[in-house]
Structure 1
Amino acid sequence: MLVLFDAEVHVHYGFFNVLGADEEQADLMDTRAGQVNGLIGAAVTGQLSLVTGLHTGRVPLMVRWHNTEPVVADQWADVVEVSFQPPAADLLLESFSDSFELCLPAVQGLRVRYYASGMDAAGDADTVMADEPTIDRYLLEFWPSDPAPDSVLRQTSEVAAYWHREARAALR
């Protein structure tokens, strides 16, 4: 396992993206159209759009690379997966006001798992100021894999349930 990123990301409007440096960010709902999960949109080729429970503030995010599929961690409230074909190994992790370089060890067909905890409490709080503790936290894992349909592995929060319904209602 290789840690590619481990820091707090400033979100606004409750989302962040992973995309190629030359890619233009797609519409939030277009990225999840036709999916069963609404937490990580991968319906637009070469982009990932990820939602958070928090509307505005800092969220801890770790991004990890695995050579094989990792075991699903038990301590997370919400877990979803998508297939992803990145446009290049060098990507950007972007939020409303942050941009971080993210370099993947490989780019041939990948699977991505997104873990979330604290989404409901963060959604209720809406905003975390600079001097306040963070509420929700996230983990993003990549590994080589053949394409497969997106899936919801675990859903316990109302925020996740809302976004899953929105994705299923979005037309391709």
Structure 2
Amino acid sequence: PMAAAGFRYIALMSALPLLVVGFVQNLPQSHHSSLYRKFSTAVSSSMPQQSKQLLTSTSLSSSSSSVPSLVVFDLDNTIWTPELYQLRKIQRSGGTPVAGRDVNLFPGAQSVINSIRASPGKWSKTSFAVASRTSSVSWAHDLLDQFDLRDFFEYVEIFPGDKK
């Protein structure tokens, strides 16, 4: 059912105290707001309108005091854009991508991370992780450092390969 709804990344069952943040592809605009509300109650009620289109979640309790024990982010098209495979020109020239020039954080992702960092007490029992697959593993690690995100994530799992 989730794949049919257009999810690019499969979210975990609501019975688990786990949240997966993923980019939605081909999901009708009318669904974005309801999916976003489930996530935003756990993060921040003051997130900008444009952020609502970037984040989705599985079922979360509507209580803002209920937070997941683990939040797992993907990188490409969730935290940043473009996907690293699209930077072939840089790869062919032997260079490396530069944060803020070649790769940019999504404003919604930055808002979520800032909100979490601003409320450390609320998130004290929550671990944050990155799980990603890319042909440019070293670039992904380097960009986490360039964006000053390395210390935000307790677990970083980036493996070589593609998502096909």
Give TM-score, length-normalised by structure 2. 0.29
The structure that is helix-richer by fraction is 2
**Bigger Cα Rg:** 2
The structure that is strand-richer by fraction is 1
Between 1 and 2, higher relative CO (CA 8 Å, sep ≥ 6) is seen in: 1
Give TM-score, length-normalised by structure 1. 0.28
